[in-house]
């Protein structure tokens, strides 16, 4: 499954069947017309196998109240505010093995984005929703936090920053209580972004701890030490990726394309 943010739709692709609309609306459920990127963005499954969505238009993280086999646009809000202020537009999300949900909240889904008068937060945060529903601000020091992923042992959290002035991936230590500390830059591709299309966006991790991260030129492979090992050049602005099949297939969303590439590496969880 993958999001078409502009069309407010999640699509489903299956071998031999191709892509078909799966869920509409996916990220904006109001009947009041509005512009901007309204649909869902990041998608994941919770520990019960339910679809969890970062909903741009509704400015929340929500879970679909229907089985995956019979999807309906009915949602329960998991998180839509912090300290009384509405989120900007939750963008991407990842579960920790203990059930805590980590997500980023830039303003890409708002009609006027960073200049939107409806913004209630003056920062773009990285947040955690614990199993008991409590929302915690982990950091507000990133300008455009986007994709995020844990290292295989969950001792590190990687967060992409899709800022053309500072196109970077940050890495944080994950403390025993689930908060993060010791922020540092893993890799800076600001210069590369001036000659290649795209910015740091979605990312996934392989079993060796390497990052498979969309960015300038396509999808970059980055070692845990921050070395740029190579790039899968898609020729398009590249948004996100996910492991599939036997764990050696990487699915990539790049502009209007859904792509798949077989690799020797293996995704975490397979």
Q: What is the mean pLDDT of each run of 10 residues along the chain (270 residues)?
A: 97 96 98 94 97 98 97 98 98 98 97 95 98 97 98 98 98 98 98 96 98 98 98 96 97 96 96
- At 152 the pLDDT is 98
d(CA 51, CA 71): 9
- At 21 the pLDDT is 98
| Chain-centroid distance, C-alpha 217 | 19
pTM, 2 dp: 0.97
Q: How far apart are the first and last CA of the chain?
A: 18
Burial grade of 7 (CB within 10 A; 0-12, 13-18, 19 or more): middle
What total of structural domains would you count in the chain? 2
User: Residues 223, 115: one domain?
Assistant: no
CA torsion through residues 215, 18, 30, 48, sign: negative
User: Residues 119, 5: one domain?
Assistant: yes
CATH number at 101 reads 2.120.10.30
Residues whose CB falls within 8 Å of the CB of residue 121, separated by 6 or more in sequence, listed in order: 82, 85, 86, 87, 88, 105
- At 216 the pLDDT is 98
User: Residues 128, 156: one domain?
Assistant: no
User: Residues 80, 206: one domain?
Assistant: no
- At 37 the pLDDT is 95
User: Residues 132, 152: one domain?
Assistant: no
User: Residues 260, 153: one domain?
Assistant: yes
User: Residues 51, 121: one domain?
Assistant: yes
User: Residues 166, 121: one domain?
Assistant: no
User: Residues 14, 135: one domain?
Assistant: yes
User: Residues 8, 130: one domain?
Assistant: yes
Q: In DSSP terms, which residues pair with 128 in a beta bridge?
A: 102, 136
User: Residues 192, 80: one domain?
Assistant: no
What DSSP assignment string belongs to 138-194?
A: EE---SSEEEEEE-TTSSEEEEEEEETTEEEEEEEEEPTTS-EEEEEEEEE-TTGGG
CB atoms < 10 A from the CB of 205, how many? Answer: 23
User: Residues 75, 169: one domain?
Assistant: no
| Structural domain harbouring 211 | 147-174+182-270
């Amino acid at each position: 499954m993958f999001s078409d943010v502009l069309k407010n739709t999640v699509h489903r692709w299956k071998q031999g069947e191709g892509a078909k609309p799966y869920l509409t609306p996916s990220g904006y459920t109001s009947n009041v017309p509005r512009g901007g990127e309204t649909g869902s963005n990041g998608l994941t499954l919770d520990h019960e196998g339910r679809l969890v969505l970062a909903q741009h238009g509704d400015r929340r993280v929500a879970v679909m109240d229907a089985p995956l086999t019979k999807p309906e646009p009915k949602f329960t809000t998991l998180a839509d505010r912090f300290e009384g202020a509405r989120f900007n537009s939750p963008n991407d999300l990842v579960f920790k093995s203990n059930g805590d949900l980590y997500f980023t909240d830039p303003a890409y889904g708002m009609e006027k984005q960073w200049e939107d008068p409806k913004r209630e937060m003056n920062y773009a945060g990285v947040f955690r929703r614990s199993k008991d529903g409590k929302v915690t601000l982990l950091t507000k020091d990133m300008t455009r936090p986007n994709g995020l992923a844990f290292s295989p042992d969950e001792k590190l959290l990687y967060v992409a920053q899709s800022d053309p002035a500072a196109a970077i991936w940050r890495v944080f230590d994950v403390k025993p209580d689930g908060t993060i500390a010791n922020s540092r830059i893993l890799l800076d591709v600001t210069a590369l972004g001036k000659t290649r299309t795209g910015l740091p966006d979605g990312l996934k991790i392989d079993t060796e701890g390497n990052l498979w991260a969309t960015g300038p030129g396509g999808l970059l492979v980055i070692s845990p030490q921050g070395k740029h090992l190579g790039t899968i050049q898609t020729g398009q602005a590249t948004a996100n990726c996910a492991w599939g099949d036997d764990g050696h297939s990487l699915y990539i969303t790049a502009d209007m394309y859904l792509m798949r590439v077989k690799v020797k590496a293996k995704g975490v969880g397979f």
